[in-house]
Structure 1
């Protein structure tokens, strides 16, 4: 398939690119700084774009079969709308170019999965460190759910740099109120690539943990 990956220079984005290429897909990586992506392959195209600039999204979204968003940033302590505004621009670009399949990575602990990232995140990390970030992720999810795309939202537990596993827990009800459940970025990438054409979680937000 022809896959557009947003946020390709992040750790999860790199795993998506690496595993997508290994699976034989043609990958277009949408990045702000191409120099940060240290991957080269005959089936990889790197496009310099900014999700906050709609005019930069026109060409990359053309002729794609699916779009995967691993969009993120590190501006945790200030009010931000980068994720929600950037995602809306991507939705608009997809609709313009008739690309329907969209998979977006967010996190457990958002919207109806609130409190499911464990008590440490619920009482400390989210309210004191990630409050604005998670607020924007919540808006991001709602924009996706209101769109006319064939969407799946993937909510991982705490992300790690561990090895890829091909067996893990995934459902609309995973997570834990007390303990923080984890999952490797490599495993998240594996799950997403296995579910691009699957109807199991179409129009659903699915949690994934070890």
Structure 2
């Protein structure tokens, strides 16, 4: 009797996903949602959430992954603040917004030919893409960033902002026991391995970059009470809303702040 090893592997992986989801539900019911540093609340550590200025200069932004999650929240806020936005996604039909300043186009983060005609002279490029968890090697974050940097050129003044998360680079091990020992190694290992590669590519580039590592994402409204930390020493991540992450992204590109910095965001 022959055995389909690929099907067995996929079934085992789906079983692990089911376990993680079940444990996540229990954890969510018990967790407080606030991050800590050396066991103390983050309230007095790092920097306060930046303040958005009144009447900002109109920017021309390109956002990868603008049809859902943090990307969609960023598109909403950018349009509300008077900016021009080009949203590039593989499924632009998912976009729920219509606006005179919004150009909603089909494109693939990895395939620069699909967005090359839109990328020139942008004030900032924001990557908010995400992919489904997989047991196979993931390269979309690193390969896509290589192509974005090549497309904008080495002398560009464009600010490149990317969202990674807890588990990338030196943030590994700062998510708490359950996340660090179960969720990340069982479900997100390949995802964060590639996000780590993406961070390294940006740091070694000549571009104006900002790496943003949000804590555990929620759908709460923006309250702008989150903290911005540059040092992960002694930190355990808490929650942060997608709306608050978009608030930070807009503040960063409007002010030209946190250039060539890696920041962690958490309540």
TM-score surpassing 0.5? yes
Query: Once the two structures are superposed, what CA deviation does each residue of 1:3-24 show, in whole Å capped at 9, x if it has no partner?
Result: 1001112211100000000111
State the match for 1:126 in structure 2. Answer: 184
Asked if 1:56 is matched to 2:114, the reply is yes
Correspondent of 1:6 among 64, 69, 90: 64
Contact 2:154–2:206 (Cα < 8 Å) also in 1: no
Asked if 1:26 is matched to 2:73, the reply is no
Give, in angstroms, the shift of residue 109 of structure 1.
Answer: 2.3
Give, in angstroms, the shift of residue 199 of structure 1.
Answer: 5.1
Give, in angstroms, the shift of residue 197 of structure 1.
Answer: 4.0
Query: Once the two structures are superposed, what CA deviation does each residue of 1:85-120 show, in whole Å capped at 9, x if it has no partner?
Result: 111111111217935211111102221222112221
Contact 1:54–1:89 (Cα < 8 Å) also in 2: yes
Looking at secondary structure, tell me which structure has more helix per residue: 2
Number of aligned positions between the proteins:
209
Asked if 1:110 is matched to 2:168, the reply is yes
* TM-score with structure 2 setting the length: 0.74
- Report the Cα distance in structure 1 between the residues aligned to 2:112 and 2:168, rounded to whole angstroms: 26
State the match for 2:255 in structure 1. Answer: 198
Gaps of 5+ in 1: none
Matches within 5 A, 1:146-185: 146-173=204-231, 180-185=237-242
- Report the Cα distance in structure 2 between the residues aligned to 1:100 and 1:38, rounded to whole angstroms: 27
- Report the Cα distance in structure 1 between the residues aligned to 2:234 and 2:244, rounded to whole angstroms: 19
- Report the Cα distance in structure 2 between the residues aligned to 1:171 and 1:65, rounded to whole angstroms: 25
Contact 1:172–1:205 (Cα < 8 Å) also in 2: yes
Asked if 1:207 is matched to 2:232, the reply is no
Give, in angstroms, the shift of residue 54 of structure 1.
Answer: 2.1
- Report the Cα distance in structure 2 between the residues aligned to 1:93 and 1:117, rounded to whole angstroms: 34
Contact 1:152–1:205 (Cα < 8 Å) also in 2: yes
State the match for 2:23 in structure 1. Answer: none
CA RMSD of aligned residues (A): 1.8
The structure with the largest alpha-carbon Rg is 2
- Report the Cα distance in structure 1 between the residues aligned to 2:210 and 2:63, rounded to whole angstroms: 15
Gaps of 5+ in 2: 1-58
State the match for 1:101 in structure 2. Answer: 159
* TM-score with structure 1 setting the length: 0.93
| Structure 1 SS opposite 2:108 | coil
